[in-house]
Chain A
Amino acid sequence: MISVKEITKHFGKHMVLKNISVEIAPREVVVIIGPSGSGKSTFLRCLNGLETVSSGQITINGVEITHSKTNLSLVRKEVGMVFQRFNLFHHLSVMENITIGPRQVLKMEREEAEKRAYALLDKVGLREKAHAYPDELSGGQQQRVAIARALAMNPIVMLFDEPTSALDPEMVGEVLAVMKELAREGMTMVVVTHEMGFAREVGDRVLFMDEGCILEEGTPDQLFNNPREERTKLFLSKIL
């Protein structure tokens, strides 16, 4: 589904991603962990073209998104993204946040878009907030709306960039619950997170990134219980 071949990324002289290759299968849930500054978020943002790679290839569902002629908008409507800071559209209601993509990009009729939006709001448990504005919601509620907004485009893969890092602790659970449900339904997911519980419970594979490289990868059990690399052990000892 996603094939990443030897990508590198420079910011000026600084090399943020060094020769990363990874294959992600349909229905797979891949969790990326690692210290801050290790390139996790940059890697994730390369997967929908929010960052351009300096070299290498990324292919999603047969489309090479790193090709200069590829229309990124067409790729992005199939790749949902959830941000650390939610990034809901402040001037639009919850309903409009969810329907604007389907209506403007997929050219869907209003009634159809709203019907689907209500179904998604049911899924994230926020039907009664359809006409609220983002600033009237708690962080956890905003992030659940952001997930619904991404799902409204019917993506084939969902990218999560530290989706719970900006939340108060008591709100982390409600967002993770929605994500776990998605994983159980078979959504292909790439998740950058520090939530080890989530990684253990629904992750098929965990990648440990450090200094722009994938240093180690394996099943959650392997990586958390028997890490090979010293660097991984050190990192895990600090966060577990």
Chain B
Amino acid sequence: MNFLAIVSAAMPQLLYGARLTIWFSIAAIILATILGLIFALFKLSSIQLLRKIGEVYVHIFRGLPLLVEIFYIYFALPMVLPMHRWFDPYFAPVAGVIALALNEGAYITEIIRAGILSVDRGQTEAALSIGMNGFQTMRFIVLPQAFKRMIPPLVNQFIQTIKDTSLLSAISLSELTRQGQIVISTTFASLQIWTAVAAIYLAVILSLTALSSYMERRLQIDKR
């Protein structure tokens, strides 16, 4: 069989995997961004307890290999907490997405924190001086300016998240990498299938990159 014939025969299975990869990525990115925003605000809080919670979160989830986190939540935690029963029969995807989100969220925490800190203190003072409260100052003055500067490192992190979904193959989730392995186990066409898998990952990531450069242009990121 030639290259194209092998790949096109495997394509339905690979695309099924690609679809799951995209869904896992979207879910993990949304959750990780929410976690990142919450813990960034914790780390910048004037309340010491919240700052400590934020620090511990980042230290733990940035400090462990993602694969260990995935195994821990999927295999170890159910030993003490019957999570697998709560989410049955979807525990594997739920555990996978949670592990991913917690890990990427730790990095996003630091990206968002750095973005907020990069906004001149005078902006906050001016907002407070016209009677805005802390929430309004963050919402209308600081975050919009911080957000533009956070886009490039956030896009980096989102790309990382998409690639990291491949580790979910280790808990038998049928995402793209896992589907590739399955196809190869019956066809033995390593070169052809891994080439196709790589091409699909690249296509997904390049479309995210294109989307982000469009957004950067729209938001005129080069301007303040």
**Cβ contacts under 8 Å, B223 to chain A:** 133, 135
Known: A90-B145, A91-B145, A100-B140. A73 touches B125 (CB 8 A): no
Closest to B136 in A: A104
Report A69 CB to chain B, min CB distance, Å.
Answer: 15
Question: Contact between B122 and A149 (Cβ–Cβ < 8 Å)?
Answer: no
**Cβ contacts under 8 Å, B136 to chain A:** 104-105
Report A141 CB to chain B, min CB distance, Å.
Answer: 16
With the chains together, A79 CA to B128 CA distance in Å? 11
Question: Contact between B224 and A101 (Cβ–Cβ < 8 Å)?
Answer: no
Select the residue from A77, A89, A152 with max chain B CB neighbours within 10 A.
A89
With the chains together, A83 CA to B136 CA distance in Å? 20
Known: A50-B125, A83-B125, A83-B126. A89 touches B132 (CB 8 A): no
Question: Contact between A76 and B129 (Cβ–Cβ < 8 Å)?
Answer: yes
Closest to B219 in A: A91
With the chains together, A25 CA to B202 CA distance in Å? 70
With the chains together, A72 CA to B144 CA distance in Å? 24
Question: Contact between A105 and B224 (Cβ–Cβ < 8 Å)?
Answer: no
- A114-147 Cβ-contact flags toward B at 8 Å (1 or 0): 0000000000000000000101000000000010
Question: Contact between B145 and A77 (Cβ–Cβ < 8 Å)?
Answer: no
Contact of B125 among A72, A87, A105 (CB under 8 A): A87
Please report the total number of A residues contacting B with Cβ < 8 Å: 29
Please report the total number of B residues contacting A with Cβ < 8 Å: 20
With the chains together, A80 CA to B148 CA distance in Å? 29
Question: Contact between A91 and B144 (Cβ–Cβ < 8 Å)?
Answer: yes
- B139-155 Cβ-contact flags toward A at 8 Å (1 or 0): 01100110010000000
With the chains together, A90 CA to B223 CA distance in Å? 9
Report A160 CB to chain B, min CB distance, Å.
Answer: 12
Contact of A73 among B123, B131, B145, B148 (CB under 8 A): B131
Interface residues of B (CB under 8 A from A): 120, 122-123, 125-133, 136, 140-141, 144-145, 148, 223-224
The 7 closest A-B pairs by CB, nearest first: A77-B131, A101-B130, A87-B126, A87-B122, A81-B129, A90-B224, A105-B131
13 A-B pairs whose Cβ atoms sit less than 8 Å apart in the complex: A76-B130, A76-B131, A78-B131, A79-B129, A83-B122, A87-B122, A88-B126, A89-B126, A91-B145, A91-B148, A100-B130, A101-B130, A105-B132
